[in-house]
Structure 1
Amino acid sequence: MRHVSLSLKSLSVLALVAVFLLLGACGSAGKGTGTTNGEAAGSGNGTAANTPDAGNAADGENAADAANPPEGDVPDTLNYGYIGLNDLNLPTGAEGWGFHTGLIQEELKKYGITKVNLIGFPNGPDQTESLISGRLDFGSLGDTPAILARSNGAKTRLITQAATDSIGYLIGKKNGPKTVQDLAGKTIAIQKGSFMHRYVVGLLEQAGVKNYKLVHMLRPDGEAALARGEVDAMTNNGVYALKQIEQGYAHIDDASTHPDLVGTSATVVSEAYLKKFPDFPKVWNEIRLKALEDLKKHEDEYYKLAAEIQKTTPELFKQVSPVANIKDTPFTDDGVKLLDGTKNFLVQQKLATKDFDVNEWILRDGQ
């Protein structure tokens, strides 16, 4: 696997992030282990939702190539991207519960949408590529890749922040670095373009640590490289980070003690789809709220489902992603503030190539 070296002093690699997001090429198909919202890069599995009334399995790209209806007419097929390749082909959260039960599919039928394709991605940059290329109509991902795509000209609108407490972890190898300061001159595996990438760069800057090396690895590759001692530390999140800590890897730091470095989620829709379905933001948020209300009536079942998606236990999933953390409103003042802070940081560090107004990106119900 080819590793890409990064540092704050290397603008050439920062430019790579922009190029990566603008390639517009669809990722290759494949399955993998589940990940939580906001994780970073890869390609979708392109299959229809394995849920009641989801329709026959179909490749997301084929669905996007279907007949293009006149402006204002709602297409009968909806292509949704999420972060986390898994055997069930489902996200977690209210969205995953709603697709699992068929509630979302039934509600969408009221608007002429008879088929929903769920397409999983191992990270945000690949999802934004598919959104830009027209393979997806909308999707949920971490704030950092969504911001980077918008900064590079992606024609998207932000319609929901389903979570505002995505915690990145910095995990060290066994018998390796124990503190942030120990990382000077060390190699750290990151998921390029993810909220964890933003977290670790901000953390090291705040700590005054320099001369480190960042290499891009997806989570499974990073975990394997850390176990072999090929990297000194890696970023991780959720149940995967807790598993590493239980296995004896060093818990160097996490974003829970750095409120300004916490990540948020972002649900974005393409402007092209909005032309076909202008009321979609309002419709989606109302349906999502119904799914959340139903989830809260079946929390034990939800935790079992989420644990199966992420190949963990209900108890561990509940510890890192409690139902209480799922937002029941599209936006909060604190969430938008975090989003704006992340955008400003990415622009300052030249990870984002162009500044923009977050409030103009947001499309609230009724706008």
Structure 2
Amino acid sequence: MNRGNREKRGAASPFKQALIAAFAASILLIQACGASGGNASPSGSETGGTGGTAGTSQTAEASAPAGNVPPVLNYGYIGSNDKNLPGGAEGWGFYKGIIQEELKKYGIREVKLTGFPNGPDQTESLISGRLDFGTLGDTPAIIAYASGAKTRLINQPSITTVGYLISRSDGPKTLEELKGKTIAIQKGSYMHRYVVGLLKDAGITDYKLVHMLIPDAQAALAGNDVDAMTNTGYTAQKLLADGYTLIDDSTRHPELHGTSVTVVSERYLAKFPDFPKVWREARLKALEDLKQHEEEYYQFIADLNKSTVETAKKVNPISELEEEPFTQEGLERLAGTKNFLVEEGLAKKDFNIDDWILKTE
């Protein structure tokens, strides 16, 4: 690519430079503030929801904590809903009490769940010590780790997170028509990585990216303040049902799919070194149970997202929930995302994925 054109595109524009500077500054500030630790307040689930941290606590009776294991575990995830639960095997496990039952064997009496509107917000809470661990998109988790966040990767719950690029019914209908246009993205999210990678592959450099959370981006798109927006699952399906235009989605470019990752702070691992193994086993029990109750699970997911069972089966098929902590395909996608973020300057420094992963026997 002609370097002279990088000034025009989102990945090398003043916007990107500001993104990198702002993210680095927030990392330094949070690390300075994080020395005092602290617990997260509970909460939220649909990816890209308005989120927040007013959520719920999942409590189980238990004996005294084993060793140095804290009796309260703070877990973060992406989204917000009335049930204050995530989706996937994790959400089902909390909903049914399967995970709480497993964790109480190790002295964990309460799990506080906190929903966030996006990954960068969640990583800030993890770095500051308000969270012990969390599940989020790979892009913000990679950016945080490359910036010095003391986290370890313990599994990839899903390796097929689909990104969408949507415009109004009278807006751009092809990638070529996005030249000179403004696109709303969630900076530092996998959707950011998707749209930049998509336009790079298409050879399009003349566009502008603006950071907006999904509700704001929807309003801006409807009001003709932006020409297109990146989106995810349920929100995208609702817009398309309302007549909006699908310009592209990552099912056409599997290498641009996002993956979800679960990371734990090194601070928490120092207190509970066996946590990764315990968590993987608890999640697997939840996954095995939901596979025995598929229709009930899809209804649970539909209720979380105020959608239908039919849409839940389309957006969150059980087949995309991974049994193994890591798969070859998942690690290849993760490495591809990391390499892209380093190349584009969105990740502060390169690193070996194997150094981030915490494997257990």
**Counterpart Cα distance in 2 of 1:303 and 1:278:** 34
Change (3 A) 1:354 1:320: same
Change (3 A) 1:301 1:42: closer
Partner residue in 1 for 2:214: 219
Deviation at 1:239, TM superposition (A): 1.6
AA matched with 2:120: P
AA matched with 1:75: P
Q: Deviations over 1:190-215 (max 9, x none)?
A: 01111000000001111111221111
Question: Equivalent of 1:48, from 48, 57, 60?
Answer: 57
Partner residue in 2 for 1:102: 97
Deviation at 1:136, TM superposition (A): 0.5
Change (3 A) 1:254 1:23: farther
Query: The residue matched to 1:164 in structure 2 has which SS?
Result: strand
Question: Equivalent of 2:238, from 230, 238, 243?
Answer: 243
**Counterpart Cα distance in 2 of 1:19 and 1:312:** 38
Deviation at 1:229, TM superposition (A): 1.1
Partner residue in 1 for 2:304: 309
Partner residue in 2 for 1:290: 285
2:194 corresponds to 1:189:
no
- Equivalent residues of 1:79, 1:136 under 8 A apart: yes
- Equivalent residues of 2:302, 2:312 under 8 A apart: yes
Q: Please, which runs of 5 or more residues in structure 2 have no aligned partner?
A: 1-8, 35-39
State which drifts further: 220-229 or 133-142: 220-229
Partner residue in 2 for 1:19: 25
- Equivalent residues of 2:164, 2:236 under 8 A apart: yes
Q: TM-score with structure 2 length normalisation?
A: 0.89
Question: Equivalent of 1:263, from 252, 258, 281?
Answer: 258
**Counterpart Cα distance in 1 of 2:137 and 2:28:** 17
Partner residue in 2 for 1:139: 134
- Equivalent residues of 1:226, 1:232 under 8 A apart: yes
Q: Please, which runs of 5 or more residues in structure 1 have no aligned partner?
A: 56-68
Deviation at 1:30, TM superposition (A): 10
- Equivalent residues of 1:43, 1:126 under 8 A apart: no
2:299 corresponds to 1:277:
no
Deviation at 1:31, TM superposition (A): 7.9
**Counterpart Cα distance in 1 of 2:350 and 2:181:** 31
Deviation at 1:23, TM superposition (A): 3.9
Change (3 A) 1:228 1:290: same
2:13 corresponds to 1:9:
yes
Q: Deviations over 1:74-112 (max 9, x none)?
A: 111100001111111100000000000111111111000
Question: Equivalent of 2:162, from 159, 162, 167?
Answer: 167
Query: The residue matched to 2:183 in structure 1 has which SS?
Result: strand
- Equivalent residues of 1:75, 1:113 under 8 A apart: yes
Please give the root-mean-square deviation of Cα atoms over the aligned residues, in Å. Answer: 2.2
2:324 corresponds to 1:329:
yes
Partner residue in 2 for 1:359: 354
Deviation at 1:301, TM superposition (A): 1.0
Question: Equivalent of 2:333, from 323, 330, 338?
Answer: 338
Query: The residue matched to 1:144 in structure 2 has which SS?
Result: helix
**Counterpart Cα distance in 1 of 2:25 and 2:302:** 35
Deviation at 1:326, TM superposition (A): 0.3
Q: TM-score with structure 1 length normalisation?
A: 0.88
| Matched residues, number | 341
Query: The residue matched to 2:112 in structure 1 has which SS?
Result: strand
